[in-house]
Structure 1
């Protein structure tokens, strides 16, 4: 590692640590069925995955829904998701080995997610990988979730690493935008959307198999500039269902 501020790796959770988007979509679809909605959950998540569930749900109703009711719906979706995903929980291939190698290489490591603490524990404690993260930032730690920059800005601040030396691992389009807004570069995982849907990641990987800390440094050195956020992807109409 260079003799200056360390690099930091910041991970989203859903679709990055675990390949669970299909199960998330199924839970939303079951909720929509109960509510009499015809929204296609998979297409919805392609645009909005990474945002807090209440924010995603805001976009599927024709009129405003009280925050308390949105929270109730989000809790219902979370119960459905945990029920159908309970026996399926496993890490994206190669994750633990990559985390171990990154710690050994001197990287700081953070988790920045739109999920709450209980959901995070449901995943990272089950996978026994909490010890690899120096910082864990949840939806409850920020005022604005993704695609706003707050999650990644706070994660970097808590890690003590400047944004330009951080790289974000994201599977979601809104998460990629959040990284650029935070002044960080991004490596995308193709677990949730097709590789050509992303704006300008350093690279797109399907999992962490054969991916190394050395490769991360090489990519950062080859692409020193942070892309500007896409105006199209940040447009509210793009975000709507």
Structure 2
């Protein structure tokens, strides 16, 4: 049985986290905020932009205003990243090999449809995915497990038979919550930042479905979510 593969998008399919952080930083500057965007994304990356923005204000902000700020950030990000869109090194070769080997493949991201298209259609990646799950397809995004649970259901796979490729701590915790193992992609975080992935890779260069199968044998059981991490305030958003 080949495990089903579920890929996050930002920081996994593409190495775009620095541009995401820069867009947040420019927004914060316009709003007169001094929050360090890079440090913020180290903790909260993977969550919807509106939820990330909730954490930087001392007083409650109306949802309509948060959505306007998120739209402004999205415009800044797309402008900064427009000519920089590239697939993660080795990604296409790995996806092609995984499909040839018989793996079912899904995309599981917190991004809305237009942002998904901005990446995967521009890079002609959609053809590699049997299922695409985004913000519009789930009630709650990461750190909740809905995104990965729905992706598995659409693939017809049990959670225990799914491997999630994630670059964010919250995404890793979401995978463990639903009973899936994780390959950590270290595009922006170090190996020590993750809890217990079955593998840590900087990108997909030299990585293969055969190597993945070998690594899975070293972790027969899915790790439990880290209670200390799960109890952090931002996990309740």
Give TM class, smaller chain: over 0.9
**C-alpha separation in 2, matches of 1:172 and 1:200:** 13
Tell me by how many angstroms 1:236 deviates. 3.0
Of 204, 222, 230, 1:234 maps to 230
Answer yes or no: is 1:120 the counterpart of 2:116: yes
Tell me by how many angstroms 1:238 deviates. 6.0
Tell me by how many angstroms 1:237 deviates. 3.4
**C-alpha separation in 2, matches of 1:171 and 1:190:** 6
**What pairs up with 1:112-191 in 2 under 5 angstroms?**
112-191=108-187
Maintained 8 Å contact 1:232/1:238: no
Name the SS for the 2:105 alignment partner: strand
Of 23, 31, 38, 1:35 maps to 31
Q: Which residue of 2 aligns with 1:208?
A: 204
Q: Which residue of 2 aligns with 1:44?
A: 40
**C-alpha separation in 2, matches of 1:192 and 1:25:** 11
Maintained 8 Å contact 1:186/1:201: yes
**C-alpha separation in 2, matches of 1:222 and 1:236:** 29
Q: Which residue of 2 aligns with 1:97?
A: 93
Of 67, 78, 81, 1:71 maps to 67
Tell me by how many angstroms 1:239 deviates. 5.7
Q: 1:161 to 1:213 in 2, by over 3 A?
A: same
Maintained 8 Å contact 2:143/2:235: no
TM-score (norm 1): 0.96
**C-alpha separation in 2, matches of 1:236 and 1:140:** 26
Q: Which residue of 1 aligns with 2:78?
A: 82
TM-score (norm 2): 0.97
Answer yes or no: is 1:53 the counterpart of 2:49: yes
Larger deviation, residues 215-224 vs 156-165: 215-224
Larger deviation, residues 227-236 vs 209-218: 227-236
**C-alpha separation in 2, matches of 1:22 and 1:166:** 28
Q: Which residue of 1 aligns with 2:20?
A: 24
Q: Which residue of 2 aligns with 1:197?
A: 193
Tell me by how many angstroms 1:221 deviates. 2.4
Task: Encode CA deviations 1:135-166: one digit per residue, 9 max, x unaligned.
Answer: 00001111111111100000000000101110
How many residue pairs are counted as aligned between the two chains? 236
**C-alpha separation in 1, matches of 2:26 and 2:213:** 42
